[in-house]
Amino acid sequence: MRKLRLFAIVFAAAVILFSSAVLWIGMRQQQLDRERMEAARDRDSNVFYEIFVRAFHDSDGDGKGDLNGIVAKLDYLREMGVSGIWMTPIHPSPSYHGYDVTDYYAIHPDFGTMEDFERLIGEAHRRNIKIIMDLVVNHTSNRHPWFVEARSGADNPKRDWYIWADEATNVNATSAIGGKAWHSVSTGRYLGIFGEGMPDLNLDNPEVRAEFIRIARFWLEKGVDGFRLDAAKHVYEDLQGDNRRPEVAEKNVAWWREFRAALEEVKPDVYLVGEVWDAPSVIGPYLDGAFDSGFNFELAGKLIQLAKSERATDIAAAVRRIHDYYAEVSGGRFIDATFLSNHDQNRVMSQLEGNVDHAKMAAALLLTLPGRVFLYYGEEIGMEGVKPDENLRRPMPWDEVDRQHNEPDSLLNHYRRLVNWRKLEPALAFGTVESYATGHRSVVSYIREHEGERLLVLHNLSGEPQQLALESKADIEAEKLAVTLASAPGIKFERDEVSLPAYSTAVLKAK
C-alpha cells in the first residue's frame, strides 16, 4: 500500500511538472509571438478595411457614424493590422448610402467638418494607415446644382454636362444593369442607369472631365492616398449590349488613363482601385495605365464556395492564371484587389449560413493568398446581413467586439492573427503563388514566394483532423521545413508528416 501511495505521489508530481512545462512552453511561445508581432507592427500588411461611414462608429450620440468615430477606432484598426481604410462616400447626399452626390468639395454634415476630415487623415497617417475615398464619377444626384441647372432648359450651359435623348434615341432601351435607362423631366429625357435620382454625366464633355480631375486633386491635396472609383466601367457602358462593343471599353479605359495621368502630377504614388464588376478578362485592360487594382469578384465567390463545401480545389492555379494575364496586360504593374464581400453583397457569415468554422477558413484562404485584401467592416466579428442593401450596412455592434476581444479563439482574434501574419511573413502579403498538390480532398495547399523566401501554406477545410506526408517538389525540401505560423494548437510537423486539426491553417518554411 505504501508503495502504491508513493507511486501515486511521484506520478502526480510528474503530471504537475509535465503540465507546468507544457504551460511554460505555451506561455513562452505566446510571448515570442507577441514579440514578433511587436517587431513587425509597422510593416505593411497590404490589407485595407472598408468602412460604411454612417454605420461604423458614432462619436457624438446622434445615432450616425461619423469621421470622429473613425478616429476613435483607429487604434482598433491598427491592432488588427490593417494598413489602409476605404471610406464609402462622405459628401453631401440626399440618400443614406451617399452614392448620389450633391457637392463633391464638401463633407456631409452628418459625418463632421472639413477639420474633422483633416484630423482623420493626420491621425491615420500617424499610425501608418492610408486613406482612400469613394469617388462617384459616373453620375450625380438629381439634386446636384449642376443637374438642377441642366434640367432647366436646353440652352443652359450645364445641359451638356449630362446625357439627353434626341429624336433618334430609343428611350425604351434597357440599362446596362437591367433597369430603366431613360427618365423624364419637363425639358426632356435624361440617362440614369442607376435610377432617376442619379443622372449620368457626359464624360465626352471636356468641362466634365476637367472638373473631376479638379475634384480628385482637391482631395489629394487634403492628404488622401487614392480613390475607389465607383461603377468605373459604366462611364460609357450604359445600355445592355454595350459590353459587346469594344469601342465602349476602349473609351472607358482612355478616360481613366487621362484621369490617372492628371492625378500623378499631384501625387505620383496615388492608388486607384476600380469597381469593374466583371470577369478578369474585362478588368485586365484597366490595369494598363489606368488603375492599380480591380476588385476580384470572381475569386471572392470561389473562396466562399471552398470554405462552404470543405472540398479542396487548386485555387492557386486559378489565381495564377488571372495574375499571369494581368501581368501581361499591365507590364507587371498591378495589385489584385481581393475580398470576400462588400457593401453591395450579402455578408460572408450569411452566405456561410452562420458557420463560424467556415468563416474562419474563408478568412484564412483570403489572407494567405496574393493581393491587397479588402475587409468589409464587421466581417471580422461575423456580422450577418442579406439584401436589401440596408441589411448589409447595419451599425457596427461594438459590444460584440468587446466580447470577442476577450475570447482567444474568437473570429475577431482569428482575423487579427491572420492579418498580422502578413506583417510577419512578407511573402504572404506581397509574394507570388504556385500550386502544391497534396492529394487530400479537404486540404488546400500552395506555395507563396517573395524575394527568395518560400512558404508552404496548408488549409484543412474539414471538420476532421488530417495527416499528410509532404513531398519535396517545386523547390520545397520537405525535410527542411518547420511550422512558422499555426492557426490552432495541435498542428505538428514530424518526419515529413503534418498533422492538421479540424479547420486549421499552417504555414511552413525552411529552417
Predicted pLDDT of residue 21 = 47
**DSSP one-letter string for 139-201:** B--TTSHHHHHHTT-TTSTTGGGB-B--TT--TTPBBTTSSB-EEEETTEEEE-TT-TTSPBB
Q: What is the pLDDT of residue 42?
A: 76
Separation of alpha carbons 65 and 62, rounded Å: 8
Q: By C-alpha distance, which of 107, 62, 51, 112 is closest to 84?
A: 51
DSSP string, 437-461: ----TTEEEEEEEETTEEEEEEEE-
Q: Quick one: pLDDT at residue 28?
A: 46
Question: pTM for this one?
Answer: 0.92
Give per-residue burial for 408-421: e unless 16+ CB within 10 Å, then b.
eebbbbbbbbbbbb
The confidence score (pLDDT) of residue 485 equals 98
Q: 407 burial class (0-12, 13-18, 19+ CB within 10 angstroms)?
A: exposed
Domain ranges of the chain: 145-191, 434-510
**What pLDDT does 480 receive?**
86
Task: Return averaged pLDDT per consecutive 10 residues of the chain, 511 residues in all.
Answer: 58 55 45 57 91 98 98 98 99 98 99 99 99 99 99 98 97 95 98 98 99 99 99 95 91 98 98 97 97 98 98 98 98 98 98 99 99 99 98 98 97 98 98 95 97 96 96 81 95 92 97 76
**Short-list 263, 277, 293, 284, CA closest to 84:** 293
Cβ 376 vs Cβ 339: under 8 Å: yes
| Domain at 145-191, CATH from 3.40.50.300, 3.90.400.10, 3.30.70.380, 3.30.300.20 | 3.90.400.10
Q: Return all residues near 191 (Cβ < 8 A) that are at least 6 apart.
A: 162, 163, 164, 165, 181, 182, 183, 199, 200, 238
- Catalytic sites, residue numbers: 230, 275
CATH 2.60.40.1180 fits 434-510, yes or no: yes
- Rounded percentage of the chain residues whose pLDDT exceeds 70: 92
